Amino acid sequence: MSIRVAIASDFHCHPSTVEPTSSFFLSDAPWLPASHHPIASLIEMIDHSSLSADVLLIPGDLTDRINRQGLRTAWDAVGNLRRALSADLLAATIGNHDVDSRAVHGGDPFQLAREFDPRFPAQSEENKRRFWSDGFFWIDNAHVRILVVNSVADHLNEEEAKRLLAISNG
C-alpha cells in the first residue's frame, strides 16, 4: 500500500504592516487573483492537477515572530489545503516562530499557540494535552503511524531559545 504525503512548511505568515517583510504569505492580502497569493495559487494548482494526499504534514513556523493574525490566517490556510488535497490525516506542530520566547504577548511562551484554536495542534483533546504536557503524541490509523513532536518545548525564553539554536548549529 502506498501513502501519499503532502508537506507545507514555514509559512511565516504575517500582516503586510510588519517590517521587515519575511514572507510572501501576508495575512491581510486578498486571495484573488490567485496568481498573487501563494496559498490560493497552490490550491488552484492542486485543483488543476487533481492532486491529493492521504496525509498533510505541517512542521511548524505557521507565523513569523509570533504574530497573532499570521497564526490564525496560516491555520485557516492549513484547513483549506487539507480540504483541497482531500487529506484524511493532518499532523501539525509548532516551530520557533510560533513561540513567544521574547514575552511579547505575556509570560507564557506557548499561550497563543495553545489557545488560538481548540483543534491545534491535534484534533483530539487527549493528543492536544499530550503535545503540551509530554511534548509529543501519536496519530494512528489503519495504514500509517505518525509521531508529532513539539521540538520547541524548551524555548521558554529568548536566552534558552538562543542557547538551543547554538547547540543545534554545532
Q: pLDDT tens for residues 21-78?
A: 889 999 999 999 999 999 999 999 999 999 999 999 999 999 999 999 999 999 999 9
pLDDT at 161 over 80: no
Q: Which three cell numbers stand for residue 41?
A: 495559487
Identity of the amino acid at 133: S
pLDDT of residue 34: 95
For the entire predicted model, the pTM comes to 0.90
* Adjacent-strand bridge partners of 14: 26
pLDDT of residue 21: 82
Task: Identify the CA nearest to 116 among candidates 96, 99, 139, 133.
Answer: 99
CA 2 to CA 92: how far, in whole Å? 21
Grade residue 164 by pLDDT with cuts at 50, 70 and 90. Answer: low
* CATH fold for domain 5-168: Purple Acid Phosphatase; chain A, domain 2 (3.60.21)
Query: Reading across the β-sheet that carries 55-58, which strands appear in turn?
Result: 5-7, 55-58, 89-92
Instruction: For the chain, give the percent of residues with pLDDT over 90.
Output: 75
Q: Which three cell numbers stand for residue 23?
A: 514572507
Q: Give me the residue spans of the domains in the chain.
A: 5-168
DSSP for 121-147, written as a single string: S-SSHHHHHHHHHHSEEEEE-SS-EEE
